[in-house]
């Protein structure tokens, strides 16, 4: 290929996809901006600590620890940290990359399901979603989970449109990686199986992989995931009697969708558009009496070849199964539902709302929806960048190490906050210890002063707040000095002399 031909093809690619490229660059910028500004917090510090283990140690740690996550993300982060270091910025870059490349991927999946207009709108919603920006700026697995869920659905839809071996291989690999990234990936696979079973029963082979071939793919996937399912079994036993989540309520479910949307106003908009998309899929004759406003197409303009109703049904399953199934499990058994675990479901919510916008009106209406999303998302984003969400361990530990004497003891409460303190600790002559719920029996330091670090990000396991802890401190210790940082309170204490 000569230079002129290559140059013309590049220009054509840019010209035909300039909107998508612009949206991608916007999303990338929002995810990179201020990436290393805030301190590493507990969950991220666990990720870093796990990344320092070799692969076999990571598996052993995963089986024995209370982290309750599959090992894939930690294995990936180990390689990344060896190459680029473990600074706040470096640890979060992979999430920013996965979160950014989810934008063109949701466009591709949306195009397969609902056509270019809906795909562009869903890509824009994802690009400016403060929910996804937040988890694209955190050294945890959630951005990777969303990316792999999109990739799994991409190969599923391609298998329906073009039954090539590469699509089957891609589906098995991406789905296996999804399950090894996060256990909620199983609910994504469940939603796909429900859809394919429904498609086969109602349309036979139209718009779905050959049923026998699909069963074979699921069997291969199951065999590949046997080690991961064993780790899940071990974790499920571990959380039976002791897990930090509480049983969810309907209000928790509402909060989940408000977080996915970014605000109550966007939730109302997305929910209304999703309902319109679902009604349009039913295609009742009643809607056609409203002046032709609602015009559900007989066939989706997408490239996967399934009906509009099939596309909407797939999106409804994709949205509801990762949310509803763990929610119901949490009500009847051990609580396992948490909004960020079901992050993959939010992607279907964005595509579904985009389908409703495109179906309901023309280009002007889609531009109106885009403008509303831009306005409210901008407010969310500005607030997100101005707000400090994580305990400022970087400043707190630096303050202690700048003022502590040789051999000083640093006491951490709650007990699990040792990980972020250890991440920032640079002095070998200081001892870091943790305290359990019986906090007030501090280590015997005699007449020697020591440092207490209270992280008030959450209530502790027995419901103590900062105020109750300080009250109890005053009963046995003199507070010689106090320094406050975001969500972090540092005290220099000395045992009271007995009278």
pTM for the model stands at 0.90
User: 418-453 burial, b if ≥16 CB within 10 A, otherwise e?
Assistant: bbbbebbbeeeebebebbeeebeebeeeeeebbbbb
The full set of domain ranges for the chain reads 19-386, 393-495
What distance in Å separates the CA atoms of residue 384 and residue 317, rounded to the nearest whole number? 31
Residue 430 vs residues 86, 422, 449: alpha-carbon distances, Å: 22, 11, 13
What distance in Å separates the CA atoms of residue 93 and residue 480, rounded to the nearest whole number? 41
- Is residue 257 classed exposed, middle or buried when 0-12, 13-18 and 19+ CB atoms within 10 A define those classes? middle
- Can you give the C-alpha Rg of the chain in angstroms? 26
- Is residue 7 classed exposed, middle or buried when 0-12, 13-18 and 19+ CB atoms within 10 A define those classes? exposed
Q: What is the pLDDT along the chain (499 residues), one digit of tens a residue?
A: 555 555 555 455 556 688 999 999 999 999 999 999 999 999 999 999 999 999 888 888 887 766 788 989 999 999 999 999 999 999 999 999 999 999 999 999 999 998 899 999 999 999 999 999 999 999 999 999 999 999 999 999 988 767 788 999 999 999 999 999 999 999 999 999 999 888 888 766 544 557 788 899 999 999 999 998 888 888 877 676 666 778 888 999 999 999 999 999 999 999 999 999 988 877 643 444 444 444 444 444 555 567 788 889 999 999 999 999 999 999 988 888 999 999 999 999 999 999 999 988 778 899 999 999 999 999 999 999 999 889 999 999 999 999 988 888 898 888 788 899 999 998 988 888 887 555 445 555 556 788 889 887 654 444 456 777 777 777 778 888 899 999 899 999 888 776 5
Residues 6+ apart with CB under 8 A from 218: 189, 193
Angle ∠(210,216,218) on CA atoms, nearest 5: 105
Cβ pair 397, 425 in contact under 8 A = yes
């Amino acid at each position: 290929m000569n230079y002129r031909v290559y140059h013309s093809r590049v220009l054509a690619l840019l010209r035909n996809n300039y909107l998508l490229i612009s949206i991608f660059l916007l999303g990338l910028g929002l995810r990179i901006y201020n990436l290393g500004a805030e301190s590493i917090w507990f969950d991220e510090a666990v990720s870093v600590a796990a990344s320092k283990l070799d692969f076999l140690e990571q598996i052993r740690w995963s089986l024995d620890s209370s982290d309750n996550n599959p090992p894939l993300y930690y294995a990936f982060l180990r390689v990344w940290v060896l190459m680029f270091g473990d600074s706040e910025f470096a640890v979060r870059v992979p999430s920013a990359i996965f979160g950014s490349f989810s934008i063109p991927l949701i466009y591709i999946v949306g195009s397969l399901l609902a056509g270019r207009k809906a795909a562009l709108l869903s890509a824009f919603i994802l690009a400016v979603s403060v929910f996804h920006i937040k988890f694209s700026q955190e050294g945890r697995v959630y951005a990777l989970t969303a990316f792999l869920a999109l990739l799994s659905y991409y190969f599923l839809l391609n298998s329906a449109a073009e039954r090539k071996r590469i699509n089957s291989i891609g589906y098995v690999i991406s789905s296996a990686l999804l399950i090894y990234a996060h256990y909620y990936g199983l609910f994504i696979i469940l939603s796909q199986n429900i859809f394919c079973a429904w498609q086969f029963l109602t349309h036979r082979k139209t718009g779905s992989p050959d049923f026998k071939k699909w069963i074979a793919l699921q069997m291969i996937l199951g065999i590949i995931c046997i080690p991961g399912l064993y780790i899940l079994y071990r974790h499920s036993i571990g959380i039976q009697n002791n897990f930090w989540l509480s049983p969810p309520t309907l209000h928790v479910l509402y909060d989940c969708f408000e977080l996915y949307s970014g605000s109550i106003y966007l939730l109302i908009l997305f929910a209304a558009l999703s309902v319109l998309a679902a009604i349009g899929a039913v295609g009742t004759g009643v809607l056609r009496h409203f002046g032709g406003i609602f015009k559900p197409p007989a066939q989706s303009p997408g490239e996967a070849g399934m009906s509009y109703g099939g596309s909407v049904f797939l999106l409804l399953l994709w949205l509801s199964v990762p949310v509803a199934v763990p929610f119901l499990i949490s009500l009847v058994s051990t609580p396992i539902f948490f909004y960020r675990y079901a992050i993959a479901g939010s992607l279907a919510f964005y595509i579904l709302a985009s389908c409703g916008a495109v179906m309901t009106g023309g280009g002007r209406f889609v531009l109106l929806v885009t403008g509303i999303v831009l306005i409210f998302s901008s407010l969310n984003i500005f607030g997100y960048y101005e707000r400090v969400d994580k305990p400022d361990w970087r400043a707190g530990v630096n303050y202690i190490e700048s003022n502590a004497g040789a051999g000083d003891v640093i006491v951490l409460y709650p007990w699990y906050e040792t990980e972020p303190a250890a991440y920032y600790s640079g002095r070998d002559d200081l001892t870091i210890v943790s305290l359990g719920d019986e906090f007030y029996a501090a280590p015997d330091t005699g007449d020697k002063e020591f440092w207490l670090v209270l992280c008030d990000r959450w209530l502790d396991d027995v419901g103590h707040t900062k105020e109750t802890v300080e009250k109890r401190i005053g009963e046995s210790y003199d507070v010689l000095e106090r320094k406050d940082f975001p969500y972090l309170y540092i005290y220099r204490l000395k045992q009271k002399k007995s009278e």
